Chains A and B, each alone.
Chain A
Amino acid sequence: MTIDQAAAAPAVPDEQSEPLGRSLIARTARRPEFGALIGAVAVYVFFLVTASGSGFTSVDGTASWLDTAAELGVVATPVALLLIAGEFDLSIGSVVGATSAIVAIGSGTYTMPQWASIPLAIGFGLAVGLVNGLVATRTNLPSFIVTLASSLVVGGGALGLSRALSGSTAVTLAPEPSVQAVFGSKAGQFQVSIVWWLAITVVAWWVLTRTRTGSWIYATGGAPDVARDAGVPTARVKVGLFMATSAGAALVGVLQTIAYSGGDVTRGSSFIFDGVIAAVIGGVLLQGGYGSTVGVLLGTATYGIVSIGIFYTGWNTDYAQLFLGALLLVAVMANNYFRKLALSGR
């Protein structure tokens, strides 16, 4: 554990290396997604047993938890990247509601083409992210406060405008076939949002593990001063990620509006913390600087499994919250432990 032992141990000759098997296991155990994998498998097995015979493991049951996970994953993935860069975004809930209203009111109450109101909604999300990012990086205020403020502004504004323009907070919309195909189609009970979720995960994985932007994200959250000294544009990294979380939230707003044939400004508040919960259960450090896309994928799946698994057990679904809360606590402690393990040598 200590530096001295670490330095003393390798009296080994240069070329000697650990036996492959052991080193592979040791390396796997030190990856940031290792805890998330254990968690996901454990909850799955738990519901496999407690909800046995109820259809939890059936095709429809599987579709059900994947659908739930996918909707969250679309926004939880960028939220995780932002967390790794050391920032929070509390405005995603309001953006989900507002963008859902933009599409539903624009093309339902009014006659905007759906292929115009959807880009408008995404553009709105990007704009909110840009403002969040610029304010947070220019003022150096905690993003917690900045995005809490923008959450209230966007949420309140959307609610007021929705009532003024449509007389209601909920507006129905009949999706056009091409829009339905891209944002609302289904294969059996498997919704197209699963594809969006996986695609976003692949992009995030690519950025984080394969590009220099990935290094910049980790360094921005892990050691901001070092990153700045090395010439990393930390402010630009953060602004870009705030835009990604807001765009993710906007996409959730669009997906929901099309899937449920209607928009609702009040929808979306659950995402504010669920995104962080999925990321942390997925092994992302709350302090920033550490985490992985695969971990977040597993954390999001865990969230879906718990939310739907409880339902299949026949227990009161309120217990899903209790379950997630306990998982979150365990995850935070495990993450700190795994981080120490990762730093403890090879």
Chain B
Amino acid sequence: MTTTTTDHSLIELRGVTQRFTGVTAVADVSLTVRPGQVLCLLGHNGAGKSTLIKILSGVYTPTEGTLSIDGEPVTLGGPRDALDRGIATVHQGAGTVPLMSVARNFFLGAEPTKGRGLLRRFDAATAGRIALEEIRQLGIRRIRDADQLVGTMSGGERQALVIARALHFGARVLILDEPTSALGVREAEIVLQAVESARDRGVAVVLITHQAHHALRVGDHFAVLAHGRLVASFARGEMEAAEVIDLMAGGTVMQELERKQA
């Protein structure tokens, strides 16, 4: 599974610090998010991962440092602004309405319509066709009826639906906060395949995960946070799988890094 690696950066963080009253959640972090690559954010609870992606998705404006998109330094006005620039964030626990159909879920809030005036109506045929086509491209072949309730889909399929929706609406950067944490092996596999499909389509993916084998499976770059600082940053193949697993389990490698940090 080769990836289209480009050196051009989509998002660039330079010396970014995020302070809350009394806490420095992210300290002097520099990172590059590249199209067609999966960047895995690793680190213990409280390390600053969620804060970092909230900076990327426009929820916070960093206290210090710069964020550049396509090489231009920008200040994101909020999540909506980030979304308009193609940065889509999928928070934990996929955003779907279980008792609503696949087609209606896919287009919720952005429904295609036909007809005018009082006869203006939801274009169910178009919505259904596009929704099925898009989830199919992410490897979901089991769902063949767009009128089927989303609640009948498995957890992994629902995550894939949310990812497909983000891609359909023009996401260039896909930020996933622990998309596999609540899923079994088979379900996680569906999500990882969706991540790979997105990457193969040239999308930049930022993935937070606690599962070492998930990170190893799809990651092109790895960034390890501890106490808000970037303590390690390496590309696929630059570190032994065993080391990465040890790192994520908080073993000797991690202790080493954290000690250097302190």
Q: Which residues of A pack against B, CB within 8 Å?
A: 3-4, 6-7, 10, 14, 17, 206, 210-212, 214-216, 218-219, 222-223, 225-227, 229-232, 285, 289-290, 339, 342-346
Q: Which residues of B contact A232 (CB under 8 A)?
A: 108-109
Bound CA span A6–B97, Å: 19
Q: Which residues of A contact B152 (CB under 8 A)?
A: 6, 342-346
Bound CA span A344–B152, Å: 6
Bound CA span A343–B144, Å: 16
Knowing A4-B186, A219-B100, the reply to whether A343 touches B108 (Cβ < 8 A) is no
Nearest Cβ distance between residue B208 and chain A, in whole angstroms?
18
* Beta-carbon contact of B99 and A214 below 8 Å: no
Contact with A along B143-157 (1 / 0, CB 8 A): 011001101101110
* Beta-carbon contact of A210 and B141 below 8 Å: no
* Beta-carbon contact of B122 and A215 below 8 Å: yes
9 shortest interchain CB distances as A-B pairs:
A230-B109, A212-B111, A231-B109, A343-B151, A230-B108, A223-B97, A226-B95, A215-B104, A222-B97
* Beta-carbon contact of A3 and B184 below 8 Å: yes
Nearest Cβ distance between residue A100 and chain B, in whole angstroms?
30
Bound CA span A14–B132, Å: 13
Knowing A3-B154, A226-B95, A230-B109, the reply to whether A218 touches B149 (Cβ < 8 A) is no
* Beta-carbon contact of A212 and B149 below 8 Å: no
Is B110 positioned at the interface, with any CB of A under 8 Å from its CB? Answer: yes
Q: Which residues of A contact B109 (CB under 8 A)?
A: 216, 227, 230-232
Q: Which residues of A contact B141 (CB under 8 A)?
A: 14
> Is the contact region of chain B dominated by helix, strand, or loop, or is it mixed?
loop
Chain B contacts with A in 202-227, Cβ cutoff 8 A: none
Q: Which residues of A contact B100 (CB under 8 A)?
A: 215, 218-219, 222, 289
Chain B contacts with A in 56-79, Cβ cutoff 8 A: none
Q: Which residues of A contact B148 (CB under 8 A)?
A: 346
Bound CA span A216–B97, Å: 11
Nearest Cβ distance between residue B75 and chain A, in whole angstroms?
22
Number of interface residues, chain B, beta carbon within 8 A: 30
Specify which of B99, B113, B186 is in contact with A343 (CB 8 Å cutoff): B99
Is B259 positioned at the interface, with any CB of A under 8 Å from its CB? Answer: no
Q: Which residues of B contact A216 (CB under 8 A)?
A: 108-109
Residue of A7, A17, A210, A345 with most partner-chain B CB within 10 A: A7
Number of A-B contacts (CB under 8 A): 89
Nearest Cβ distance between residue A62 and chain B, in whole angstroms?
33
Contact with A along B230-247 (1 / 0, CB 8 A): 000000000000000000
A-B contact pairs, 7 of them (CB 8 A): A6-B154, A14-B144, A218-B100, A218-B104, A223-B96, A227-B109, A342-B99
Nearest Cβ distance between residue A205 and chain B, in whole angstroms?
12
Chain A residue at minimum C-beta to C-beta distance from B190: A7
Bound CA span A229–B186, Å: 28
Specify which of A14, A219, A290 is in contact with B108 (CB 8 Å cutoff): A219
Q: Which residues of A contact B260 (CB under 8 A)?
A: none
Q: Which residues of A contact B98 (CB under 8 A)?
A: 222-223, 343
* Beta-carbon contact of A212 and B113 below 8 Å: yes
Knowing A214-B122, A342-B149, the reply to whether A10 touches B99 (Cβ < 8 A) is no
Nearest Cβ distance between residue A237 and chain B, in whole angstroms?
12
Knowing A4-B186, A214-B122, A231-B110, the reply to whether A343 touches B149 (Cβ < 8 A) is yes
Bound CA span A4–B185, Å: 10
Q: Which residues of A contact B96 (CB under 8 A)?
A: 223, 226
Chain B contacts with A in 80-101, Cβ cutoff 8 A: 95-100
Nearest Cβ distance between residue A85 and chain B, in whole angstroms?
12
Chain B contacts with A in 124-160, Cβ cutoff 8 A: 141-142, 144-145, 148-149, 151-152, 154-156
Residue of B100, B122, B144, B152 with most partner-chain A CB within 10 A: B100
Q: Which residues of A contact B144 (CB under 8 A)?
A: 14, 17
Chain B contacts with A in 152-210, Cβ cutoff 8 A: 152, 154-156, 184, 186-187
Nearest Cβ distance between residue A84 and chain B, in whole angstroms?
10
Bound CA span A258–B120, Å: 35
Q: Which residues of A contact B107 (CB under 8 A)?
A: 215
Chain A residue at minimum C-beta to C-beta distance from B148: A346
* Beta-carbon contact of A4 and B149 below 8 Å: no
Chain B residue at minimum C-beta to C-beta distance from A223: B97
Bound CA span A219–B111, Å: 13
Chain B residue at minimum C-beta to C-beta distance from A10: B142
Q: Which residues of A contact B155 (CB under 8 A)?
A: 3
Is B19 positioned at the interface, with any CB of A under 8 Å from its CB? Answer: no
Residue of B98, B99, B144, B156 with most partner-chain A CB within 10 A: B99
Bound CA span A212–B113, Å: 8
Is B121 positioned at the interface, with any CB of A under 8 Å from its CB? Answer: yes
Chain A residue at minimum C-beta to C-beta distance from B141: A14
Extra inter-chain contacts (14) besides given A7-B142, A226-B95, A231-B110, CB under 8 Å: A4-B184, A7-B187, A10-B142, A210-B121, A210-B122, A214-B122, A215-B100, A223-B96, A227-B97, A232-B109, A289-B97, A289-B99, A342-B149, A343-B99
